[in-house]
Structure 1
Amino acid sequence: MNMQELKKELKDLTLLYVEDDANTRIRIEKLFSHIFKSVTTAENGVDALKLYEEKEYDLVITDITMPKMNGIELIENIRNTNKNQTIIILTAHNTNENLLDAIDLQVDGFLLKPLDKDKMSELLYKIGKHIKNEKENISYKKNLESLVQEQQNKICELIAKDHLTGEYNYSKLKSLIIHNKSSTVCLLVINHLSELLDFFGTEIYEPIIKKCSDYLKSIIIEKMKYFHLRSNEFAIFIDNTNNSEDLMKKFCKKIEDFYININGAKIKIVFSTAVLKGDSTTLLKSIDDTLLKISQSGNIHNITNLNNDIIKQRWESLCIATNVADKSLSIPYYQPIFSQNEEHLMFEVLCRINNNFFKNENKRKCFFESCKKAQIFSKITLNVLKSSIKQIEKVNALFFINLCKNEILDSEFINTIINSPIKVKNNIVIEVNPSLLNENKIINIILKLKDIGIRICFDNVGLESFQIKRILDINLIPSFLKLDKSIISSIPFNERYLNTVQAYTIFAKNMNIKTIAVGIENQKCYEVAKKIGFDYYQGYYLAEPQETIKIGEI
């Protein structure tokens, strides 16, 4: 065994060498320093043990017979700390009585004094190769464990993220809730997604989800965390702090009027929200219960298979509607409403769109259906409202503006009315379908408009649900009742309808509510309506809608 081969195996190893005889220690240390990476020496077991506790060594070579603590005791202490430590005993021939103890302690080798260089080299080479292999095995094992752990983390990360949006999903939210004593979570669900897919086709699913996810993530505030739970379900998480509820309210306010654009078409996204809070157990149960109720509420159903021509026509309609809304292509028309003496100081504001597309009845029907599904009709009629406000301010007359559910819930639309000049507010009459009075949010908005001096008219009376007890309970007595066209047109020929209409007019007079007969399309209908005693009359027989406002007689 030549010295070069020995150095090759030992050059990266550290050695703790323990020897009480100073001359021997110095001489052998000099030899070892040429073949080991580093050599640390100690003159007894006590000093050696202190050094060992401070630092790791690849190899320990120790004498047996030493003061304070002998080699056998040192080995016992080292084994208590590290049972795998490689140890060689260096001893004289006359210490055979201790060799059995060393064997029991499973030392890795023996070197006898005086040293035989060939035997020492052979043993050190063998031991060095063994240590080197062990270190490589340990390094390989650690690298393998690290690689396995890294892959496990990646798998866990993949499991915890939604495949479509790449955002953390329900499993990650659950983990976060469990690790927090008390939290607040806002659940958000696109509550009309199935209807949109059913109407416009399933191809819009991915862009809707991605755009909703991007928007929600962009508007989170302060310490909120965003999650895409699954499909049309999203969540916002925040630790329970003094202002956690206020932060959630601010967040929910930001999603009230949210529209997305897909291939040139605008679609309104309406979220149902539920703010839940509590400890981890309570909160997780509340989330599961809430999501279960949503899944059972009818929001999830089988999507109808549509042919491409139908989808194409609907999408074309929606693109036209978006263009009309964005470029303010809708204009107001005004249909006169006449009093009993055939004078008129009132108008209904109607929406008209100048486009050849609407000359086809099927296309016109498809347009309105598409607007309804995408909930963007309020953006079209908003242009009409803004234009008509300029005219209303100039004329001393009442103007009836019919509001559907989407318009009432559109904050921009309602704020345009609220922020209009006082004269405009005094001249506006808001028409509302009484069937909407079952929703508290809508009732509160209507009452707010009434409180600032805007008159209220119930529309489609006789056709839709009209509960007298309901309007009395919520203290929402209208200024006008409009009897529906389908009822009015039948009163000359249907005695039951005639009696129903007469009952409504008697009720209205007793409540000091003015009545309007809508749908006067012929002389006979007009004469019967006048006999009943309506306060006002409206219909094409009396006057067609006009682009300019003209006050006068029939």
Structure 2
Amino acid sequence: MNGNNINLMYVEDDVIVNDTITSLLQKLGYTVYNFFNGADAYNYFKDNKIDIVISDIDMPKMNGIELVEKIKKVNTKTPIIFTTAISDEKYLLDSIKLGIDLFMKKPIDCSVLKENVDKVLKPYFLELENEKKEEKIREQAKEILIAKTVSMISHQWRQPLSKIGSITSKIRVYSQMNKLTDEILIANLEKIEKENIYLSSTINKFNNLLEKKDIREFSLKELLKSIIEDEISIEMQNNVFIKSDYDEFKNIFESILKNSYEQFDKNDIENRKIDITTFQDDDFLNIKICDNAGGIDKDILSNVFDLYHSDKSLNGRGLGLYLAKVSLTLLTNGEISLENIESENGKGVCVKIKIPTTYVS
């Protein structure tokens, strides 16, 4: 493995050993940042890109164990090699618990130094390469979704633009016939304004997809509390935190709940119930949002997330659930599905959301 472009941190309190090994590592092609104690090393590490750390264990100010504990809080994936003397063996158990990648006995055998560094770095860079490939795939998927959304908005705009054209034509005819009264003009302008509001709302939702996201950690429970009403109950295993865009997630849940409320009104449901439950497994945070609003016709159940399906979440013309699905995919590569259910509260719909645990803490 070529040492070029690899940032290596070397920590050793013995000045002669430090200078010797640092010089050797530089000759091998690595960019070396050398320190004589753990405290100085950590202060540099937390603000800079380091690909691998080689550290002594028994050092002043901050020993190697304490240094690695702090490093792991910044980046759990950074490869670590410990250089150990016989006197350091009391630390070996702690080192193993920290997940040290390799131990090298002192005095360091210079002939195998590069071999050991490459051995530790190979899986590290392989994982980085895989992550880059996955990120490229995700970006390509995002581009496809955005292109589909543009197509959808074009489709959604045809009807209101056609209505606006018909209304303006009607106004022109009334004017030419000298029959354009203030009452007729105002009524038709109100119709145009209604269509304009719809057009604005669709473009605003699309802009939200394109805007740079404000990624931060937030409490799912607090987010849900900010939008729920009396008939909604929340049952969570624990208060999980999601690292993503708070406002976008709020829009997703509001869109889902809005569909439940519209079904409540449509089916004249009096005893309204919406239960939100969560549980987490090794791969996903699972969120279930279940109502007793009567369910959805089987003929359209499988199409509610489709590009051109109308789910009545925006003035009877759709966008809500489709954009919720797109947003969830763009934000977390998450999944969303929907099924009819029947419980003690009656028939209804259950929306299932799966968020990869990499976005959950």
Larger radius of gyration: 1
Which TM bucket (shorter chain)?
0.3 to 0.5
Q: Which has the higher contact order (CA 8 A, sep 6+)?
A: 2
